[in-house]
């Protein structure tokens, strides 16, 4: 049968606030257990939550960025369940009245097709702590540092139809939250986590099939692989005439399989009700409008501008604008280089290659954007050629100085003196009589290919410094005799 | 010395007629003498109280004393007090030493008051008789065979028997007013949000409110001056300016309109209680007030609404007592579920377990709309009843409870009869308005409390009305002989 894949995503983005959602404790990763906590995060008797207004601002920013309705009155609700690292016995979340309502995002795939993914809602909630199962002599340890860390849960409509589309959507959300500066987007540290809801239905059928939810997938690659694996599993069951059980599953990247975590029957009745310790959050239009004014240029807008302002291709503009640090870096390179196409090629090419090889973030690149731009400016003004520039970039990466310093120090300036080049070429012709004879005997179009041999000799003799634009006409003249 | 009011004690302390150390010691002696029979205190802090009294005396000498410097008081044992046991009268918290101070107790300490100890109560404030305590029941000093009311029974008895000048209580459905009424003292439940709930162990967060319990309205005003006011640590606390609650006490009552809701005087009301209340109303007429019959038509719905909302919130509020971080944990749990279930089964009394189960049920999928949401709709109706009534009259008066204190054990097997005890008090919490219990006479030799209910943030007016009544009556000056029922 021909199956259609239906995917909906729930993304938890940890908001980059200084303090927690309901307490003044600092939000930090990797601190000693239970040191980043207050009475509230520990669930002490009598402790009361106080809502962090910074988290509110960030949630409203996100709402604007995905063209969503803003919840002018949003209500915190308690989601009740017992777990050792849930200190109050409930998670404070939002249920009926979330801070962000219906919105949408346009997602472009590599093949250039664009689809609109609906966003059902985004709501604020607090994170739980962590249970530690090692080093406690068979018991479990509880670390409440993460307790009450603010999360924005972004729920999509079941509008996604492929693994590629799912990844493109998650990347777009990632790009938006990092552009907005409301989440550091660090998936390895759990700052962004993704639950994937998947079902299959025969092509053309309107009703949805039974779905499974894959919890906590934490990289773009795993999202794609988990979807492929789960789709295959569901398709096998359905092809064999079986039924999908509605359940929560876990993806195991090592075995590349999903396995059952709990079925719907085991699911908790969370007994949601409005949290009586927190007042409804009532916004004014003025506040909402004012936050809209503070929105930075978002990835899609930036890509469009790069295409018109810098004449970049749609692909290049998309890649470069995918993260704000890369887009900012590119614009600085271009400013110093004065050539947008050259700048884009080097940022996406040589620089990205070095960053990947060294697993370095562009924000931490040892070659800053201005200096890379100055290097490219030396290509543009014919001081050096591209090949030399790649070597210089490596020197710069290793901290040997600026482009001009390295060019000077190593004497890498291109030779454009025609007299010097002419005498060098005469020597080459004298040293290679057989090749010269062959060249002279050949047809004109063959000659064009054969000139590469002499060009190579010339570059070697000049240690790469000869300007190819000067060498070629002199070679032609002297070879033809 | 023990029969003095706060104003005169302050004066004597400032004029060095007595020292706080002497005063505190005399109250500690009284506690030592009476607590074995009354069981009003769970914890007595003799050492720290005397140390604080010494500091208060020094502060008075230095001229840096706070308004309540040197006045010995006691706190209901659900206010967290740093370094002292805070039990909520539960086995669950029988080992819990709070690592921080509640706003109410901190503000009173700031004002210079001395904490004598922590008073007994119904476990987690769930009860109307103070028979439901891990630390044993509390006895009414007016008749030792009778209950003091609850849940702030220990606080009421401490004041009535002269073991503290004043005490703090909390009122979720009548827990300040009903024991005040049963013990012949004055109690104020302020407007919801007037006093911070920070550090007060929650029963039902949307209903809980702390307030003073004392011999007189004037003494209550002294405590209100310390505890009332916005607290950034409690999001539900009101950003409404406070008043000097002593300032308006002597305003005349000419032109005051009193509403008497017919629903407060119907079936079930003890005739002796009714007589005392009507007598008190006549007193107000003498003071220049006029009386108007009014109706609060949804009053009878307040019991079912309350017994859905309060247990629902409680079921969630009490989830944190899981044996993981503090409080009671069962011996040798075999797994996580066993630890949860046994710790909670052992740590909570049957009454608490019952309310947790009722609340869990009411919030469950499929029942939420029928119970919780419907109860919230009723709550709005009840609130509207009060708003309408208080548009017509300045204050509403009626009995606090349908009867005077009842015999120990007489209602423990009949939860519905026990819940009906709260018929006149619950609606006030559902509406969030302030109300007082003021001694207004006796029936069957037991005290009767008059309830005065006012508009939002009208605490000053309520205290003024109660004070004027107490200037013209001496019910609040009566003290128990302690020999009845002994």
Residues of A in contact with B324 (CB under 8 A): 84, 87, 142
B80 touches chain A (CB under 8 A): yes
Residue with tokens 């002696």: B29
Provide the token pair at B349. 């009394």
**How many C-beta atoms lie closer than 10 Å to residue A374's C-beta?**
16
pLDDT of B1 reads 44
Nearest in space to B166 (alpha carbons), one of B227, B229, B92, B208: B227
Which stretches of A50-113 are assigned E, i.e. beta strand? Answer: 73-74, 76-80, 90-94, 103-108
In this structure, are residues A213 and A24 in contact, taking their beta carbons and an 8 Å threshold? no
User: Which chain A residue has the Cα nearest residue B104?
Assistant: A46
B88 touches chain A (CB under 8 A): yes
Q: Is A50 on the interface with B (CB under 8 A)?
A: yes
B139-172 burial code (b ≥16 CB/10 A, e <16): bbbbbbebbbbbbbbbbbbbbbbbbbbbbbbbbb
CB contact under 8 A, A89 and B96: no
> What three-state secondary structure class fits B483?
coil
- For A51, name the nearest residue in chain B, comparing CA atoms only: B235
Three-state secondary structure string covering A304-317: HHHHHHHCCCHHHH
Q: Do B198 and A48 touch (CB under 8 A)?
A: yes
Residues pairing with A94 in the sheet:
A76
8 Å CB contact of A276 and B206: yes
Q: Mapping DSSP to helix (H, G, I), strand (E, B) and coil, where does residue B261 land?
A: strand
Whether the Cβ atoms of residue B438 and residue B425 lie closer than 8 Å to each other: no
**Tens-place pLDDT, residues B241-257:** 999 999 999 999 999 99
Do B320 and A279 count as a contact with CB atoms less than 8 A apart?
A: no
Question: Which residue in the set B325, B360, B365 is minimally distant from A43, CB to CB?
Answer: B325
Average of per-residue pLDDT values in chain B = 96
Element at B163 (helix H, strand E): none
| Residues in B touching A272 (Cβ below 8 Å) | 363, 368
Q: Which of A273, A274, A278, A282 to mutate to test the interface with B (most CBs of B within 10 A)?
A: A273
A448 C-beta neighbours (distance < 10 Å), count: 11
Q: How far apart are CA B157 and CA B431, in angstroms?
A: 28
Specify the residue for token string 């002018």.
Answer: A72
B151 is catalytic: yes
Between positions 141 and 160 of A, the ones with CB within 8 A of B are: 142
Side-chain half-sphere exposure of B413, counting CA atoms within 13 A: 2
Where does the pLDDT of residue B4 fall: very low under 50, low under 70, confident under 90, or very high at 90 and above? confident
Interatomic CA distance for residues B120 and B152, integer angstroms: 7
Domain spans of chain B? Answer: 1-486
Chain A residue numbers with beta carbons less than 8 Å from the beta carbon of B325 are 42-43, 87, 142
Distance in angstroms (rounded) separating the CA atoms of residues B245 and B221: 5
CB within 8 Å: A271 and B365:
yes
Q: How far apart are CA A138 and CA B217, in angstroms?
A: 59
Q: Closest Cα of chain A to B259: distance in Å?
A: 31
C-alpha to C-alpha distance for B78 and A87, rounded to whole angstroms: 19
Cβ atoms A41, A224 nearer than 8 A? no
DSSP result, A263-293:
EGGG------EE-TTS--EE--HHHHHHHHH
Q: Does B315 touch chain A (CB under 8 A)?
A: yes
Inform me whether the C-beta atom of residue A46 falls under 8 Å from chain B C-beta atoms.
yes
CATH fold for the domain made of B1-486: Amidase signature (AS) enzymes (3.90.1300)
The Cα–Cα gap between A69 and A382 comes to 54
Q: How many CB pairs under 8 A join A and B?
A: 100
Chain A residues 56-85 with CB within 8 Å of chain B: 78, 80, 82, 84
Report the C-alpha gap between B435 and B449 in whole angstroms. Answer: 12
pLDDT, one tens digit for every residue, chain A (481 residues): 789 999 999 999 999 999 999 999 999 888 899 999 999 999 999 999 999 999 999 999 999 999 999 999 999 999 999 999 999 999 999 999 999 999 999 998 888 889 999 999 999 999 999 998 887 887 889 999 999 999 999 999 999 999 999 999 999 999 999 999 999 999 988 999 999 999 999 999 999 999 999 998 989 999 999 999 999 999 999 999 999 999 999 999 999 999 998 776 667 899 999 999 999 999 999 999 999 999 999 999 999 999 999 999 988 998 999 889 999 999 999 999 999 999 999 999 999 999 999 999 999 999 999 999 999 999 998 888 888 899 999 999 999 999 989 988 887 777 777 778 888 888 888 888 888 888 888 888 888 788 888 888 888 888 777 777 788 888 888 887 6
Chain B residue whose CA is closest to A273? B363
Q: What is the C-alpha separation between A175 and A167, in angstroms, rounded?
A: 12
Best of B106, B232, B320 to disrupt the A interface (most A CBs within 10 Å) is B320
Please list every residue in chain A whose beta carbon sits closer than 8 Å to the beta carbon of residue B358.
Answer: none
Q: What is the mean pLDDT of residues B48-55?
A: 98
As given in the structure block, the two tokens for residue B356 are 């947790």
Q: How far is CA B340 from CA A81, A268, A301, B3, in A?
A: 12, 16, 53, 48
All domains of chain A, ordered by start, with CATH?
3-290 (no CATH), 297-410 (no CATH), 418-480 (1.10.10)
* pLDDT tens, residue by residue, B87-123: 999 999 999 999 999 999 999 999 999 999 999 999 9
Query: Which of B316, B334, B342 to substitute to test the interface with A, most A CBs within 10 Å?
Result: B316
B302 is catalytic: no
The residue annotated as part of the active site, out of B40, B128, B133, B151, is B151
Q: How far apart are CA A291 and CA A57, in angstroms?
A: 7
CB atoms A87 and B324 under 8 Å: yes
Distance CA B207, CA A277 (A): 11
Closest C-alpha among A18, A14, A35, A23 to residue A144: A35
pLDDT tens-digit map of B127-182: 999 999 999 999 999 999 999 999 999 999 999 999 999 999 999 999 999 999 99
Say if the Cβ atoms of B100 and A89 lie within 8 Å: no
- Rounded Cα distance between A394 and A358, Å, is 12
Q: Which helix (H) or strand (E) holds B284?
A: helix B271-286
Which residue in A374, A376, A379, A350 sits closest to A362, CA to CA? A350
Q: Count of residues for chain B?
A: 486
Pick the residue of B235, B332, B364, B373 with the most A CBs within 10 A to test the interface with A by mutation.
B235
Residue A104 contacts by C-beta under 8 Å, 6 or more apart in sequence?
A66, A67, A68, A116, A117, A118, A119
Nearest Cα of chain B lies from the Cα of A49 at a distance, in angstroms, of: 7
Sign of the CA dihedral running A272, A276, A278, A283: positive
B334 and chain A: CB distance < 8 Å anywhere? no
Contact state of A47 with B199 under an 8 Å Cβ cutoff? yes
Which residue among A50, A84, A90 sits closest to B316, beta carbon to beta carbon?
A90
What's the distance, Cα to Cα, between the start and end of chain B in Å?
Answer: 25
Contact assignment for B320 to A80 by CB distance below 8 Å: no
* Per-residue pLDDT at B2 exceeds 60: no
pLDDT tier for residue B341 given thresholds of 50, 70 and 90: very high
* Local structure of residue A157 (DSSP, 8 states): -
| H/E element, B296 | none
pLDDT of B3 reads 61
* Tokens read off for A401: 């100085």
Name the residue with tokens 């002989």.
B481
Tell me: the pLDDT tens digits for B400-459? 999 999 999 998 888 777 788 899 999 999 999 999 999 999 999 999 999 999 999 999
Residue B243's SS3 state is coil
Please give the average per-residue pLDDT across B70-79, as a whole number: 98
**Extended strands (E) in B34-178:** 41-44, 72-76, 114-119, 166-170
B175 is catalytic: yes
From its phi and psi, is residue A65 left (phi > 0), alpha (psi between -120 and 50) or beta? alpha
The interface predicted TM-score (ipTM) is 0.96
> Does pLDDT of B275 surpass 80?
yes
With beta carbons less than 8 A apart as the criterion, state whether A429 and A478 touch: yes
Contacting residues of A for B98, CB less than 8 Å apart: 44-46
| Number of other residues whose CB lies within 10 A of the CB of residue B416 | 9
Which residues in chain A touch residue B199, judged by CB atoms under 8 angstroms apart? 46-47
Dist. CA A19–CA B16, nearest whole Å: 49
A84, A142, A277: residue with CB nearest B205: A277
Q: How far apart are CA A41 and CA A36, in angstroms?
A: 9
């Amino acid at each position: 049968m021909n199956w259609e894949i239906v995917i909906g995503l729930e993304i938890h983005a940890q908001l980059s606030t200084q303090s927690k959602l309901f307490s003044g404790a600092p939000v930090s990763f990797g601190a000693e257990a239970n040191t980043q906590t207050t009475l509230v995060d520990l669930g002490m008797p009598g402790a009361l939550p106080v809502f962090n207004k910074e988290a509110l601002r960030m949630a409203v920013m996100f709402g604007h960025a995905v063209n969503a309705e803003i919840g002018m009155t949003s209500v915190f609700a308690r989601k009740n369940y017992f777990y050792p690292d849930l200190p109050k016995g409930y998670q404070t979340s939002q249920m009926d009245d979330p801070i962000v309502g219906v919105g949408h995002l346009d997602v472009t795939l590599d093949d250039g097709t664009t689809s609109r993914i609906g966003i059902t809602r985004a709501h604020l909630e607090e994170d739980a702590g962590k249970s530690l199962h090692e080093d406690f002599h068979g018991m479990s340890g509880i670390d409440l540092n993460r307790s009450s860390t603010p999360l924005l849960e972004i729920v999509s409509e079941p509008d996604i139809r492929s693994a590629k589309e799912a990844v493109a959507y998650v990347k777009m959300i990632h790009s938006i939250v990092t552009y907005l500066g409301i989440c550091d987007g660090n998936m390895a540290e759990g700052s962004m986590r993704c639950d994937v809801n998947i079902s299959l239905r025969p092509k053309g059928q309107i009703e949805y099939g039974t779905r499974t939810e894959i919890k906590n997938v934490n990289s773009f690659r795993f999202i794609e692989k988990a979807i492929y694996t789960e789709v295959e599993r569901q398709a096998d069951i359905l092809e064999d005439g079986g039924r999908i059980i509605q359940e929560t599953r876990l993806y195991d990247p090592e075995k590349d399989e999903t396995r059952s975590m709990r079925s719907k029957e085991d699911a908790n009745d969370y007994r949601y009700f409005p949290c009586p310790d927190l007042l409804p959050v009532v916004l004014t239009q003025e506040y909402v409008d004012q936050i809209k004014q503070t929105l930075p240029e978002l990835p899609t807008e930036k890509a469009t501008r790069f295409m018109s302002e810098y004449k970049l291709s749609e692909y290049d503009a998309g890649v470069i604008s995918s993260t704000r640090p890369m887009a900012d870096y590119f614009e600085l390179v271009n400013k110093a280089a004065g050539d947008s196409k050259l700048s884009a090629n080097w940022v996406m090419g040589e620089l990205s290659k070095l960053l990947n090889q060294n697993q370095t973030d562009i924000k931490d690149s040892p070659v800053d954007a201005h200096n890379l731009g100055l290097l490219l400016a030396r290509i543009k003004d014919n001081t050096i050629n591209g090949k030399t520039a790649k070597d210089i970039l490596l020197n710069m990466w290793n901290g040997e100085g600026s482009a001009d310093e390295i060019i000077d120090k190593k004497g890498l300036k291109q030779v454009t003196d025609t007299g010097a080049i002419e005498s060098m070429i005469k020597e080459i012709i004298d040293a290679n009589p057989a090749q010269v004879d062959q060249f002279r005997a050949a047809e004109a179009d063959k000659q064009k290919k054969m000139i590469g041999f002499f060009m190579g000799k010339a570059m070697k003799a000049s240690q790469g410094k000869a300007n190819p634009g000067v060498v070629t006409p002199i070679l032609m003249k002297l070879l033809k005799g | 010395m023990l029969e003095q009011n706060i104003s005169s004690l302050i004066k004597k302390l400032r004029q060095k007629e007595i020292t706080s150390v002497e005063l505190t010691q005399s109250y500690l002696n009284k506690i030592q003498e009476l607590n074995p029979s009354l069981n009003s205190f769970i914890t007595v802090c003799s050492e720290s109280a005397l140390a604080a009294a010494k500091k208060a005396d020094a502060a008075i000498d230095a001229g840096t004393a706070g308004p309540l410097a040197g006045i010995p008081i006691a706190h209901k044992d659900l206010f967290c007090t740093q370094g002292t046991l805070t039990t909520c009268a539960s086995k669950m918290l029988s080992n819990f030493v709070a690592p921080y101070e509640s706003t109410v107790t901190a503000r009173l300490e700031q004002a210079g008051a001395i904490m004598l100890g922590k008073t007994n109560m119904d476990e987690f404030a769930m009860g109307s008789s103070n028979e439901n305590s891990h630390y044993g029941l509390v006895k009414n000093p007016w008749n030792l065979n009778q209950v003091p009311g609850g849940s702030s029974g220990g606080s009421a008895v401490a004041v009535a028997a002269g073991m503290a000048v004043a005490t703090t209580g909390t009122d979720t459905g009548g827990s300040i007013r009903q024991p005040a009424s049963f013990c012949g003292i004055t109690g104020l439940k302020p407007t919801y949000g007037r006093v911070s709930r920070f550090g007060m162990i929650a029963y039902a967060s949307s209903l809980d409110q702390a307030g003073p319990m004392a011999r007189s309205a004037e003494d209550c005003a002294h405590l209100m001056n310390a505890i009332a006011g916005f607290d950034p640590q409690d999001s539900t606390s009101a950003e409404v300016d406070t008043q000097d609650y002593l300032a308006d006490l002597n305003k005349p009552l000419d032109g005051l309109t009193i509403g008497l809701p017919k629903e407060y005087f119907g079936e079930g009301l003890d005739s002796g209680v009714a007589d005392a209340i009507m007598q008190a109303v006549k007193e107000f007429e003498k003071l220049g007030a006029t009386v108007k019959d009014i109706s609060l038509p949804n009053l009878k719905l307040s019991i079912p609404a309350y017994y859905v909302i309060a247990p629902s919130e409680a079921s969630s509020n009490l989830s944190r007592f899981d044996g993981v971080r503090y409080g009671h944990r069962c011996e040798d749990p075999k797994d996580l579920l066993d630890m949860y279930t046994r710790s909670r089964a052992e740590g909570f009394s049957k009454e608490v377990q019952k309310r947790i189960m009722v609340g869990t049920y009411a919030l469950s999928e499929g029942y939420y709309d029928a119970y919780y949401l419907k109860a919230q709709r009723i709550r709005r109706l009840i609130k509207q009843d009060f708003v309408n009534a208080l548009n017509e009259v300045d204050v509403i008066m009626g009995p606090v409870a349908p009867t005077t204190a009842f015999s120990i054990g007489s209602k423990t097997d009949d939860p519905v009869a026990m819940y009906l005890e709260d018929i006149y008090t619950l609606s006030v919490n559902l509406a969030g308005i302030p109300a007082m219990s003021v001694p207004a006479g006796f029936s069957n030799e037991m005290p009767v409390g008059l309830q005065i209910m006012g508009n939002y943030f009208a605490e000053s007016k309520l205290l003024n009305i109660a004070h004027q009544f107490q200037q013209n009556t001496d019910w609040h000056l009566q003290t128990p002989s302690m020999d009845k029922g002994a």
